[in-house]
A and B are shown apart, each in its own frame.
Chain A
Amino acid sequence: MLKYLFAKNEDIPPGTAAVYFGMSSIIWFVIGTGLGSFNAAKLAFPDFVTGSELFSFGHMRQVHVMAVIFGWISMAFAMAMMYITPALGNTRLWSEKLGVWNCFLWNFGLSLALTLLWAGISSGREYSDFPWFIDLYILAFIGIPLGLNVWMTIIQRRTQGIYTTNWFFGGSVFMVWIVLFVGNLPEYFQLTGLTEAYLTWWFAHNVLGLWITPVAAAIAYYTVPKITGNPLYSHRIGHLHFWSVVVFYSTPAAHHLMSAPLPEWLKSFASVEGVLILVPAIAFVSNLLLTMTGKWHYFVDNVETKFTITGVLLAIPLNMQGGFQQTRAINWYIHGTGWIVAHAHLALLGFSTFLEGAAVYYGLQTILRRKLYSLALANFHFWFLLIGFAIYWISMTIAGLIQGAGKIYEVPYIDVVIAEHPYMIARWVGGTMVFTGNCVWLYNMWMTAREGTKIPEGRLPHELAYER
């Protein structure tokens, strides 16, 4: 990487930034899920690794969350943007050098930020745990260079229209600037009380709704038509998806605080808007599934499609939960329980991770011009992710329902803890499976870069047969 940081832009091969981002994202995924597995072990067996501040649950939990959001998910997004945006514009990335610097500063900043967080240097606000100077670093050296590269590439495109994926990319990189800036206002200006509480959840909601969800969806809009060869079923539904995300997903932040003392009108408004999130969700899922018409064999044959469509299918339970669990009728029961933890993992480890996985699998093969090293290992990765996630999701959903029942029937809390214990062990087993799968993935991609079959000029990775 170092040699490209100071090379001339023209001398850097196209796709370099995407390769760095892709490999970095996988490494962060291994780290992030390893931390997750470790944390889960601590919840199941509280005396596992004890006596040290640095390995206590309270210091490690947020490091896991931030490593997967800013390391894995967001870097996989950056990877996808670095190669999909130019490909859809029939052009080169605006500045490969900026992309390489972006990746370097991202890895550096995130390592620093997570180290500080690990040491306990936190703002004390969930999902915006980083202290304000790290927030500004993220905005200045991660968000703005990425957005600039995407926007300039779209502006310099050599196609007439802008395809749906690039709409989402361009929109999200801009919206995430606003989210990062406004969401952290309580830290910049020491805002207090309900303003602080509300903006904490305004940030948490919108970083998911205006960054993670739309960018993950945008990846599916690219990979499904690209691999199957079918044109997108409807661009108009794609536009409906985009604009309904902007309108409906940006407004329900208060539904995270349904049982907190916020203005009642705000909670009701947020709740209604929260149900309306089903509009973009249904638009997205139906559009993609209809695009698969006649090509469903790819769901079995092709590993990238397998990842993509699994992600799309997981969007169905995700949004059914998301739309209704925040209404007053249901929220009182499951608020603050493991149900929500399961839902958060359904969003980030289910829906979004499978889509990003597809982008990284497909992108690295395309740019490196190497066919995947081992299909068997990729399938191993897929099934370990899916089964590990399913164990996690089911066990945490059950644990959440137990907690909810304990809450409303006023069971002594310790009895809830005892009842949850088997599910905490199951959660650890599921999380460890995900971690194991990712270690295999890292090996597989490393070997792909070194020893994968060379893809001849003019061919695409999915057109070639697997050799192993």
Chain B
Amino acid sequence: MSLSSDQAAESLKQIDRTGRRSAQAWSYANSSPFFVMWGVVWMIGYTGSDLYPRYAGPLWLTLSVAGVAGSMMLGRTRARAGEPHPGTNRHAGSRFVASFLAIGAFVAATYAIFGHATPAQQAAFTPLIVALFYALLGIWKGLRFLVTGIAVAALTLGGFFFLHQHFMLWMAAVGGGALVLAGLWLRKV
């Protein structure tokens, strides 16, 4: 049996199509627990910020450190299970910390340039940066990341402009909820 050029080209297309879907599904599945965990972090952080606004700063600092530590632990656990996250290798721990510090430095520099930001503005700014990262990731890696980024950005802006009084609770329920749902969605093939 020998194949025609058209049959060979069709087989190569099929290989490419299936390979891309497989790589994407793998990337989604490995990202899923990180989305769920950070969704829960957002829920706790925004709810706490609404109930105890005076302690919002220390609360977010604690949650952020816990989130980074949790991300590192998740990465290690998955690496042990033979399902390493794309960023999980021997430098993953320091990369998580460095990424977090880079985002923190960017946020601090932005506040320094633009002056005083209200708690609501601060609460909206970081999710917009997160949404931007997801959108960029989505443009390169897969539609579901892009959809998540757009959803987080739209929900953040919607809450900021139309539900200003209850913005923190809105972000807890809808912003955190969106991340958790996105994490569950990413698990599905």
Task: Check if A and B associate.
Answer: no
Residues of B bordering A, CB below 8 Å: none
Residues of A bordering B, CB below 8 Å: none
